[in-house]
């Protein structure tokens, strides 16, 4: 058993046996890892208070030669989001949990960046911007300045379209209209924390995100929930 330690975010907790938890973490240098937290559900377990989502954690664990590592110690550091944005933050972690799989070396920095986008913005724009950033980092979306099919520039006054989770021009087949104002709004909200979108544009943006996820077979209902119950 090797001793390991790393900064990490908690993604999921799954009850195991009578008193333990299986925990999924996204760690800075070891990527996504799964660790057994023995006795973590006991009333007096030191893990109880420290295994919190949306906090920066520092983990110590023993890695198994085969099978799951065992959590030895967790230090809980600062909260990464305000209390009011906790539900949005959990929703974001549910998406992170689907994007980065066990053994994936990536994800920690991308998730930190996304959490900062959410922290700095109004909740509606922030959650959209955070999801958009993750999709961008995953290589699932491009920028809104050109058609993703043919590469033609998206002129400032011209409608573009959303089809199967991709931005395309009229010549490439059309789809749901993505008006210039919506593209400007999205680009603005990604760049700057104080940009607000109309309710309609924010809903359309959210729908674009949902359609990208659907194209990639990611079920994401946009429902907040405690990490224990994330499928
Ligand atoms: Zn095109």
**121-168 pLDDT, tens digit each:** 999 999 999 999 999 999 999 999 999 999 999 998 999 999 999 999
pLDDT of residue 230: 40
Listed residue (59, 53, 83, 85) closest to 72, CA to CA: 59
Tokens 């995953």, residue located: 138
Tokens standing for residue 52: 């919190």
Got the DSSP string for 34-55?
A: EEEETTTTSTT-THHHH--TTE
Measured in Å, residue 214 CA sits from the centre of ligand 1 at: 22
Number of continuous H segments (helices) and E segments (strands) in the chain: 6, 8
Sheet with 166-168, strands from edge to edge, namely 166-168, 160-163, 176-178
At 68-94, the pLDDT tens digits run: 999 999 999 999 999 999 999 999 999
Listed residue (110, 87, 96, 81) closest to 25, CA to CA: 96
Measured in Å, residue 60 CA sits from the centre of ligand 1 at: 50
pLDDT of residue 224: 41
Among residues of the chain, what percentage have pLDDT more than 70? 95
Domains, the chain, ordered by start: 2-79 (2.40.50.140), 83-221 (1.20.1440.120)
Measured in Å, residue 153 CA sits from the centre of ligand 1 at: 8
What is the C-alpha separation between 143 and 115, in angstroms, rounded? 20
Measured in Å, residue 174 CA sits from the centre of ligand 1 at: 9
Measured in Å, residue 150 CA sits from the centre of ligand 1 at: 4
What is the C-alpha separation between 71 and 4, in angstroms, rounded? 10
At 97-118, the pLDDT tens digits run: 999 988 888 999 999 999 999 9
Torsion of CA 72, 14, 81, 107, to 10 degrees: 80
What is the C-alpha separation between 204 and 210, in angstroms, rounded? 10
Neighbours of ion ligand 1 (CB under 5 A): 147, 149-150, 152, 169, 172
Give kind and range of the element (H or E) at residue 64: none
Stretch 30-36: mean pLDDT: 95
Measured in Å, residue 154 CA sits from the centre of ligand 1 at: 9
Region of 99 please: left (phi>0), alpha (psi -120 to 50) or beta: alpha
pLDDT of residue 125: 97
Long-range contacts of 196-200 (CB under 8 A, 24+ apart): 196/122, 196/125, 197/124, 197/125
Give kind and range of the element (H or E) at residue 109: helix 108-120
What is the C-alpha separation between 170 and 168, in angstroms, rounded? 7
What is the C-alpha separation between 66 and 86, in angstroms, rounded? 35
Q: Is the pLDDT of residue 186 over 50?
A: yes
């Amino acid at each position: 058993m090797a001793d390991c330690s790393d900064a990490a975010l908690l993604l999921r907790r799954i009850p195991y046996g009578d008193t333990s938890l299986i925990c999924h973490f996204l760690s800075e240098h070891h990527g996504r890892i799964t660790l057994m937290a023995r006795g973590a559900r006991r009333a007096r377990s030191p893990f109880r208070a420290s295994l919190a989502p949306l906090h920066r954690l520092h983990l110590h664990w023993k890695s198994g030669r085969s099978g799951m590592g065992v959590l030895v110690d967790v230090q809980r550091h600062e909260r990464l989001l305000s209390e009011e944005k906790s539900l949005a933050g959990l929703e974001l972690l549910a998406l992170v949990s689907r994007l980065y799989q066990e053994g994936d070396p990536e994800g920690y920095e991308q998730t930190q960046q996304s959490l900062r986008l959410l922290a700095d913005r109004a909740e509606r724009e922030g959650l959209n911007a955070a999801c958009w950033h993750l999709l961008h980092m995953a290589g699932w979306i491009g920028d809104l300045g050109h058609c993703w099919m043919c590469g033609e520039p998206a002129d400032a006054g011209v409608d573009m379209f959303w089809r199967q989770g991709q931005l395309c021009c009229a010549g490439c087949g059309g789809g749901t209209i993505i008006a210039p104002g919506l593209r400007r709004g999205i680009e603005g909200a990604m760049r700057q924390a104080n940009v607000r979108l109309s309710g309609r544009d924010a809903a359309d943006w959210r729908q674009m995100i949902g359609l990208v996820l659907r194209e990639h077979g990611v079920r994401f209902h946009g429902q907040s929930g405690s990490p224990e119950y994330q499928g």
